[in-house]
């Protein structure tokens, strides 16, 4: 919604797709390294649909064919893809802890949150799953996010001060939150 309101490029799945292309591996391997299991299907869908516009990526620094990249190598490629997207400008980068990567003064770092119960209810509605499964997926996703932030960004505990704007969608409707973000970015 924010990207549409601002007329910006929206980037999410393309981060995994670009990192995978750069590494010469499948997006599943990159998603596993990122520990965001729910991204696997979205990354594959992005590749199947063309994955957005073309980015130029250097091949320097890559290991020779047949050499296996480690988790931190793949995470470094995710960081590179995020930095390239940010350098493009006029872009909304979703997920991948992009706010911990993009340290530009002209970037607006936003955290949109809600209670675990509210997020589970939304997930159950969107995916057509029962409430218990949705709560389990939310719990797993939160644990994965904590692990990802700690292991890759050295963030022991995520804090509101890591962001320029924090919005609670228990209180705000999604559309209202998008308007607030768009105004702050203007």
Helices (H), ranges, the chain? 2-6, 13-23, 27-34, 39-48, 71-88, 98-101, 116-127, 131-153, 174-185
What digits encode the pLDDT tens for the residues 24-77? 888 777 777 775 433 433 443 443 444 443 333 444 455 545 556 677 777 888
- Give the residue extent of every domain in the chain: 2-185
Confidence at residue 132, expressed as pLDDT on a 0 to 100 scale: 97
Confidence at residue 30, expressed as pLDDT on a 0 to 100 scale: 75
Which stretch of DSSP H or E encloses residue 92? strand 91-93
Report, as an integer, the average pLDDT of 134-152: 91
pTM higher than the cut 0.75: no
Cα gap 134→55, rounded to integer Å: 35
Right CATH for 2-185 from 3.40.50.300, 3.90.550.10, 3.40.50.720, 3.10.450.50: 3.40.50.300
What digits encode the pLDDT tens for the residues 81-127? 899 999 999 999 998 889 999 988 899 999 999 999 999 999 999 99
Confidence at residue 23, expressed as pLDDT on a 0 to 100 scale: 78
Q: Is the pLDDT of residue 150 over 70?
A: yes
């Amino acid at each position: 919604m924010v990207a549409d309101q601002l007329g910006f490029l929206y980037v999410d799945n393309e981060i995994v797709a670009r990192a995978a292309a750069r590494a010469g591996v499948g997006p599943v391997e990159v998603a596993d390294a990122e520990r965001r299991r729910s991204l696997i299907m979205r990354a594959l869908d992005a590749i199947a649909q063309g994955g957005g516009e073309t980015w130029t990526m250097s091949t320097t620094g890559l290991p020779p064919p047949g050499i296996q990249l480690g988790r931190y190598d793949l995470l470094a490629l995710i960081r590179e893809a995020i930095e390239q997207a940010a350098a493009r400008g006029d872009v909304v980068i979703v997920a991948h802890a992009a706010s911990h990567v993009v340290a530009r003064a002209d970037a607006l770092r936003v955290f949109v949150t809600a209670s675990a119960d509210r997020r589970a209810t939304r997930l159950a509605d969107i995916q057509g799953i029962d409430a218990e499964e949705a709560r389990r997926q939310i719990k797993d996703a939160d644990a994965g996010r904590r692990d990802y932030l700690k292991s890759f960004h050295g963030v022991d505990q995520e804090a509101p001060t890591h962001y320029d704007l924090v919005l609670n969608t228990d209180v705000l409707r999604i559309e209202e939150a998008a308007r607030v973000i768009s105004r702050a970015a203007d």
